[in-house]
Amino acid sequence: MNVNRNIYVDILTEKEAWVLFTRIVGEKLVNDVRLEKMAREAALNQLQKHAPLDIDPEISNAFIQLKLSYDLLERKEAKSCFLLCSLFREDELIHMLRLVEYGVGLQIFENMDSIYDAKTKVQMALNTLISSGLLLSERGHVKMHDIVRDVALLITSSQGDEKFQEKFLVKAGRDLTEWQIRNKTSDRYTKISLMNNRIRTLPDHQLHFPILDTFLIRSNDLSIIPDEFFGGMKEVKVLDMSYNKITSLPQSLKLLTKLITLDISYNKNLIEICIVGELKDLEILKVRKTGIKVIPEEIGQLTNLRLLVSYRSSLGWKSYILEPFTGTRLALVLWK
């Protein structure tokens, strides 16, 4: 620009923007009840521009209304928990603690000193979502209405707003027996959910998911995970392989150096987990109901652990394993 001096003007805060708006339109108009309706109509018009064009009109209308409710959520934790719920299968009753474990792994909670702090933050987020009509409360769990889930998946799919940073691939509860990635946009996915299927085999080669932070393959029929499988997803922070038939952990697991939450529970034929000791950033480790008889010495290297869930009768706990955690914020849960 042809000017003598460039002056940087920062973005106005919400309060500053409202003061400026009041000065421009006048306090009398600001206090007019019609303004709220006008603002809502303007917001809806803007949302209509971003609503997917190739979907059922009923879903399109729901998208506009529910996307507005989502956008109006003030806290980041509430938005994150809402989107996490869409990773579960249709009509699933979602336990709060699973959202805590995934949320800790994704580092969505600020000023968190312990797992109990995260639990409190999730409960507050869920209360907000329930009161906003975005989640249903049922038998101590939360649940997404089918249409709400469809909208959440549209928000995070390739059909949604291109500026939206999160892209999910959700195939939960589809009765799949195998999974082969065919989408050319695999490098854009941040979360993949294949939970609650009958998948027996995974691709026997390295996959390319450079920004993937969550991989959920809980509740399937896997017995073997190819050694190279995790080589192309080194940004993963949350990995849930629980409720399978896995007999050994793949060598590429040690490449997931940013992994924070790992759940390998209910793999009853899994007896050796020494490789987990190389995951130095790990904060949550769940090994309940595995075939592990003795907790390996390498687990003592995981000094960042906040939650360790095991099976009491597998004991084999030795003092030198627990010594590194003395005086830390580790919560040790031993089930009967």
Using alpha carbons, select from 201, 252, 192 the residue that is nearest to residue 222.
201
DSSP state of 93: P
Dmax of the chain from CA atoms?
77
pTM: 0.80
Spatial separation of the C-alpha atoms in residues 90 and 147, rounded to whole Å: 10
Domain range summary for the chain, segments of one domain joined by +: 54-148, 167-335
Neighbours of 290 (CB within 10 A): 22
Domain 167-335, CATH = 3.80.10.10
CA 268 to each of CA 159, 220, 242, 311, 332: distance values in angstroms, whole numbers, following the listed order: 40, 13, 10, 11, 21
Stated as kind and residue range, the H or E segment containing 286 is strand 284-286
Q: Residue 209's Cα: distance from chain center in Å?
A: 16
What CATH architecture is 54-148?
Orthogonal Bundle (1.10)
Which residues 6+ apart lie within 8 Å of 132 measured at CB? 69, 72, 73
Digitized pLDDT (tens) for each residue of the chain, 336 residues in all: 455 554 444 555 556 655 655 554 455 455 555 555 555 554 445 544 555 545 566 666 677 778 888 888 989 999 999 999 999 999 999 999 999 999 999 999 988 888 889 999 999 999 999 998 899 998 889 999 998 998 888 888 754 455 567 899 999 999 999 998 876 557 889 999 999 999 999 998 888 899 999 999 999 999 999 999 999 999 999 999 999 999 999 999 999 999 999 999 999 999 999 999 999 999 999 998 898 887 788 888 888 988 888 764 444 544 434 455 544 556 655 544
Spatial separation of the C-alpha atoms in residues 27 and 19, rounded to whole Å: 10
**95-102 LR contacts (CB < 8 Å, sep 24+):** 95/141, 96/122, 96/123, 96/126, 96/141, 96/142, 99/126, 101/238, 101/261, 101/263, 101/284, 101/286, 101/307, 102/214, 102/238, 102/240, 102/261
What sign does the dihedral 297-283-143-61 (CA atoms) show? negative
Q: Are 67 and 171 in contact (CB under 8 A)?
A: no
